[in-house]
Amino acid sequence: MLEITELTYTAIISFLIVIILAPIFIPMLHKFKFGQTIRPEGPQSHMVKSGTPTMGGILIIFSILITGLTRVEISSDMKLGLICMTGFGIIGFLDDFIKIKMKRNLGLRAYQKIILQVALSFYVAYTQYISSPSATELIIPFFNSTINLGILYIPIMMFLIIGTVNAVNLTDGLDGLASGVTMIVSAFFMVYAISLVGNKEVAILAAATVGACLGFLGFNSYPAKVFMGDTGSMALGGVVVAFVILTNSFLLIPIVGGIYFAEALSVIIQVGYFKATRKRFFKMAPIHHHFEQCGWHETKVVYVFWIVTVLLSWIGILSVF
């Protein structure tokens, strides 16, 4: 009961930090002209969103950082989790800043982004490898067993970290989509970490993420008053990576984070199919735009994806309990 109360207080504190700071921070984004540029090849219905303040992910990062640093004794797990979130958030911030202030629509060049992501993912994977004796033993869902990756842990984890962070980034394309999906995923890992793994630090980090995402949804749900930008989506990708790295549960991501997986896979399929046939497999990728092009309203896509994530989280619970 004490743990549930503590996690509830953690989520509430994180929520309040966002709610209190957002009315101050959003006008500052307006003042400094940190407005979103909508790419012309995207859905035409999104053009009205041009100029909406972006980089609101700073609020999410700040809220999780403050809550994580004050709600529990700082352990190596909490340090690594916060470094992972903040590090990827900084990469996203650089990307956003270049897009907006330097007027370069694609932000960081591909090789620059890859170098930074590879360096950070290596640090995270290597640190966990040398600090946790059981790091290489990944839990296999539904089978109540583990697989030991041995020395291959580091390169495999680097690949999975980069893939997951970019999948979360691709999910951020509709008002409230990435923040809502990640809130549900974080709630799952909060329960998983405290009930099955017994990792209080991960549970606290997940509770802080739940609160931050819920608070941000108050300003990011349709019609959004602020976007999280790559600053927020990559930070959320980083914190999701931290959950699974610190609980040896990366194989749960295709289940619980099925929406992330589907978003990334839709882009891979679209690009590969187009190169092979010069035709599109989906009407538009990532897949949330495909449903928009099929006539679904933006809010319907978001709500359906939230519901799917809830169902996938239940499946995830069944796979490990």
The answer to whether residue 39 scores a pLDDT higher than 80 is no
The answer to whether 206 touches 71, Cβ cutoff 8 Å, is no
Q: Locate the domains of the chain by residue range.
A: 2-134+150-246
First to last CA, the chain: 20
Average pLDDT in the chain: 93
Alpha-carbon distance of 314 to 321, in angstroms, equals 11
pLDDT bracket for residue 301 (50, 70, 90): very high
The answer to whether residue 116 scores a pLDDT higher than 60 is yes
Alpha-carbon distance of 190 to 67, in angstroms, equals 15
Task: Count CB neighbours of 294 within 10 A.
Answer: 11
Q: Cα 306 vs. chain centroid, distance in angstroms?
A: 14
Amino acid letter for position 77: D
Q: What is the pLDDT of residue 46?
A: 63
- Tokens 């970290």, residue located: 161
Alpha-carbon distance of 219 to 212, in angstroms, equals 11
Q: What is the pLDDT of residue 137?
A: 95
The Cα-based distances of 153 to 12, 59, 130 in angstroms read 36, 33, 11
The answer to whether residue 45 scores a pLDDT higher than 80 is no
Its pTM stands at 0.94
Amino acid letter for position 224: A
The answer to whether 281 touches 193, Cβ cutoff 8 Å, is no
Mean pLDDT of the 250-276 span? 96
Question: pLDDT tens digits, residue range 206-254?
Answer: 999 999 999 999 999 999 999 999 999 999 999 999 999 999 999 999 9
- Per the model's pLDDT, the better-predicted residue between 283 and 34 turns out to be 283
